[in-house]
C-alpha cells in the first residue's frame, strides 16, 4: 500500500516541485499563475508541507513498519500532525484570499473549504484520540485526513474525465475536483470499515480465520 499511495501523489508532487522551482527564480515550465506571482508564500508553505506529508504519511499505513519500528511511527506521526495542519491551513488561506480562478465556480470554492477544514479537523481529532490511547479512532481520523490530502492525485484523473464528458466550463472543473475528494473519502471509509470488521469467533471464544485449525474444528466438531 505505501508505494501505491506514493505513486498516486506523484503527479501533484512533481507539479508542486516545478511550481516551487519557478517561485524561487527557476524556469517557468507550468502555465503562468498571476495569483502565485503576487503572493507566493502560501504556495511555498503548501508545497513544502504536502510533499513530505504525502510521502511520509504513506508509510504510516504499513502494519509491518508499525510493528517493527513503533518509535519511528510515533516520531513520524508527530511530524505529520504539523505538516498536515500546514497543508490544510495554507490550502484554506489560498481558497479564502486568492482571487478565484476563472475556470472554477462557487462549487469548487465550497469543495476546497470543506476539504481544508475537514483535513484540519480530522488531524485534530486523530491527535486527540491517540492522546487518550484510542488507537482505532486515531487511525480512522488520520486515514480521512490523508485521503483529503491526496485529493490532487485522484483529481488528475477525475478532472480529465469531467472535461472530456462535460467540456471545459466551470461546472465540469468543479465537479471533477469534488469527485476526486469524494472518491478518496469513500475509499478511506472502506479501509476503516475493513480494519474494524470483527473476525469470526472460533471455539472457546478465540478468533479464527478461514483455513486455520480453529475454523476446521468449529465446522467439523471436536473428536
Q: What is the pLDDT of residues 25-38, one digit of tens each?
A: 888 888 888 888 88
pTM of the model: 0.84
- What is the C-alpha to C-alpha distance for residues 1 and 58, in angstroms, rounded to an integer? 8
Residue 115's pLDDT band, with cuts at 50, 70 and 90, is very high
Residue 204's pLDDT band, with cuts at 50, 70 and 90, is very low
CA geometry: angle 18, 21, 25, nearest 5 deg: 140
Task: Count how many domains the chain has.
Answer: 1
Of all residues in the chain, what percent carry a pLDDT higher than 90?
A: 59
**Of 57, 222, 26, which Cα lies nearest the Cα of 148?**
57
- What is the C-alpha to C-alpha distance for residues 55 and 8, in angstroms, rounded to an integer? 10
Query: Domain range holding 89?
Result: 2-220
- What is the C-alpha to C-alpha distance for residues 179 and 81, in angstroms, rounded to an integer? 25
pLDDT at residue 1, rounded to an integer:
72
Residue 61 to residues 55, 66, 73, 83, 192, Cα–Cα distance (Å) = 11, 8, 10, 17, 12
**Which of 23-32, 82-91, 180-189 shows the lowest per-residue confidence on average (mean pLDDT)?**
23-32
Amino acid at each position: 500500500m505505501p508505494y501505491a499511495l506514493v505513486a498516486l501523489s506523484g503527479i501533484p508532487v512533481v507539479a508542486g516541485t516545478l511550481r516551487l522551482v519557478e517561485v524561487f527564480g527557476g524556469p517557468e515550465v507550468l502555465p503562468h499563475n498571476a495569483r502565485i506571482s503576487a503572493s507566493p508564500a502560501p504556495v511555498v508553505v503548501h508545497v513544502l508541507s504536502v510533499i513530505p506529508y504525502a510521502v511520509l504519511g504513506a508509510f504510516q499505513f504499513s502494519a509491518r513498519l508499525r510493528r517493527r519500528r513503533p518509535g519511528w511511527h510515533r516520531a513520524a506521526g508527530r511530524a505529520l500532525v504539523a505538516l498536515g495542519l500546514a497543508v490544510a491551513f495554507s490550502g484554506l488561506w489560498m481558497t479564502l484570499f486568492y482571487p478565484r480562478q476563472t475556470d472554477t465556480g462557487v462549487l469548487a470554492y465550497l469543495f476546497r473549504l470543506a476539504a481544508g477544514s475537514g483535513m484540519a479537523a480530522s488531524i485534530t481529532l486523530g491527535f486527540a484520540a491517540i492522546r487518550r490511547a484510542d488507537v482505532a479512532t486515531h487511525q480512522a481520523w488520520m486515514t480521512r485526513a490523508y485521503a483529503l490530502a491526496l485529493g490532487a492525485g485522484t483529481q488528475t484523473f477525475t478532472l480529465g474525465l469531467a472535461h472530456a464528458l462535460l467540456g471545459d466550463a466551470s461546472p465540469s472543473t468543479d465537479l471533477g475536483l469534488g469527485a476526486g475528494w469524494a472518491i478518496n473519502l469513500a475509499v478511506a471509509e472502506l479501509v476503516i470499515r475493513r480494519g474494524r470488521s470483527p473476525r469470526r469467533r472460533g471455539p472457546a471464544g478465540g478468533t479464527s480465520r478461514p483455513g486455520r485449525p480453529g475454523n476446521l474444528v468449529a465446522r467439523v466438531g471436536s473428536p
